[in-house]
Amino acid sequence: MNMKKEVSTVKQKPFFHPTFGSRPAQIVGRDQIIEQFLEGLYEPIGSRNRCTFLIGQRGMGKTALLLELADLARENDMIPAVVTAYKGMNEEIIETIQRNAAQILTKNGRQVQGFEVGAFGFSFGLTLSGANAGQAGFRTKLALLCDEMEKYNKGILLLVDETTNSDEVRQLGITYQHMIGENKNIAIVMAGLPQAVSSVLNDKVLTFLNRAEKVNLGPISLAEIKAYYVLAFRKEEIQISEDLLNEAVAATEGYPYLMQLIGYYLLRFAGTEKTVKPITVRRAIEAARHDMEENVFTPLLAPLSDTDLLFLKAMAVDGRRGSQMADIGARTGKNNSYLQPYRARLISTGIIEAPKKGKVCFTMPYLAEYLQKEVDEAFD
């Protein structure tokens, strides 16, 4: 094998991917979660760690982690199926398993009958063919796929993004429970905003899911971000002083997207001199905040109603420390029962959260400052 040629043609992955929703070059700060998940795959069917909820606010890295777990599962004898929780999800689960099984099993050099992709979609394995495939329900199809995979010593891992309480998710939850009852080698990871996940867990039909492992995806630890920056700068042969490094790390606030953006701009602005100056750090933070406004805040706020915005601007007066509902009422001139549905909707969209009764705060760094720029003088 010509190793030399291989090395020279392999392009090194850039350290930072400053695109929201994009796959990072490396998952930072989630080692423990990943480890626990992988251990779960080797635990008995139905174990707590084989049914995981990834709970996190917007941009905390749910999708990024879900995709990483799907890849790792592949290397650990599982066929993954990543889907988004919307209508038609369960059909898509069946199709994705078949497609991924065909790809993974053929890649291993084995001839897999029944998993070829046909002109009219996917043939349904050896056990369920053509005509009756259409009539079988989700549960039957999933059970047959589990049995099919068992022949190749593979299990099935379902990964559901943007989980909300819907008929599809309820059907999936119930089906998962049946699969466990039938001792099928299946595991599941569901990712969602806190409010959406708690609605799933509180559903009467799905109470058994309360036994699942619940993982809260909070900010990434600053120490881990610093270590990643050090690694990136060293590899790129860029010099940065300890103080400036700390300043850049602190500005990320542990928010994954800001970590990507600030790192990216630091490398870019360091330029050919390959030294990070104080002005470089400030410019990088400013550019990152600008991107955050354009790519996260603008689209997030665009669909909101005037009253939603009024609510948020009334909160912005208090900045980061959070607001009492009573103060929002006084500033907007609306009473509490009028404001409640707005509060509930803003919580469910993941823009604000309620750390304790009567209080609300923003979930994302810099949103308060961004809205402050727009706050009417009337609130002053």
Ligand X SMILES: Nc1ncnc2c1ncn2[C@@H]1O[C@H](COP(=O)(O)OP(=O)(O)OP(=O)(O)O)[C@@H](O)[C@H]1O
For ligand X, the binding residues (CB under 6 A) are 17, 19-22, 24, 27-30, 56, 58-64, 220, 256-257, 260
If contact means CB under 5 to 8 A according to the sort of partner, which of ligand X, Mg ion, none does residue 70 touch? Answer: none
Report d(CA 137, CA 299) in Å as an integer.
38
| 227 versus 375: smaller Cβ distance to ligand X | 227
User: Between 17 and 289, whose beta carbon lies closer to ligand X?
Assistant: 17
CA distances from 115 to 94, 125, 131, 228, 266 (A): 12, 6, 16, 41, 47
Instruction: Please report how close the Cβ of residue 342 comes to Mg ion at its closest, in angstroms.
Output: 24
Q: Which class for 81: exposed (0-12), middle (13-18), buried (19 or more C-beta within 10 A)?
A: buried
Please, what is the minimum distance in Å from the beta carbon of residue 165 to Mg ion? 17
Nearer to ligand X, 20 or 366 (CB): 20
Which residue is at the shortest CB distance from ligand X?
61
Number of residues that bind Mg ion (CB under 5 A): 2
5: Cβ–Cβ under 8 A, 6 or more apart, which residues?
Answer: none
Greatest CA span in the chain, whole angstroms?
A: 75
List, as own/partner pairs, every contact residues 372-378 make where C-beta atoms lie below 8 angstroms and the sequence separation is at least 24, other chains included: 372/316, 372/317, 372/319, 374/313, 374/316, 375/313, 375/316, 375/317, 376/313, 378/331
* Cα–Cα distance measured from residue 251 to residue 226, given in angstroms and rounded to the nearest whole number: 11
175 counts as binding Mg ion under rule CB under 5 A = no
CA 303 to chain centre: 22
Shortest distance, position 52 Cβ to Mg ion, whole Å: 16
Interacting positions 221-260 with Mg ion (CB under 5 A): none
In terms of CB distance, is 61 or 173 closer to ligand X?
61
Confirm or reject binding of residue 163 to Mg ion (CB under 5 A): no
Quick one: how far is CA 349 from the chain centroid? 15
Amino acid found at 291: D
Which among Mg ion, ligand X, none contacts residue 124 (Cβ within 5 to 8 A by kind)?
none
- Alpha helix stretches (DSSP H) within 182-221: 194-201
Specify which residues 259 forms β-bridges with.
none
257 binds, among ligand X, Mg ion, none (CB under 5 to 8 A by kind): ligand X
Nearer to ligand X, 315 or 351 (CB): 351
Nearest-approach distance from CB 287 to ligand X, in angstroms: 15
Q: Quick check: 63 binds Mg ion (CB under 5 A)?
A: yes
User: Least distance in Å: CB of 54 to ligand X?
Assistant: 8
Least distance CB 63 / Mg ion (angstroms): 3
Nearer to ligand X, 193 or 328 (CB): 193
Q: How far is the CB of 350 from Mg ion (least distance, A)?
A: 10
| CB of 89 closer than 8 Å to CB of 160 | yes
What residue ranges bind Mg ion (CB under 5 A)? Answer: 62-63
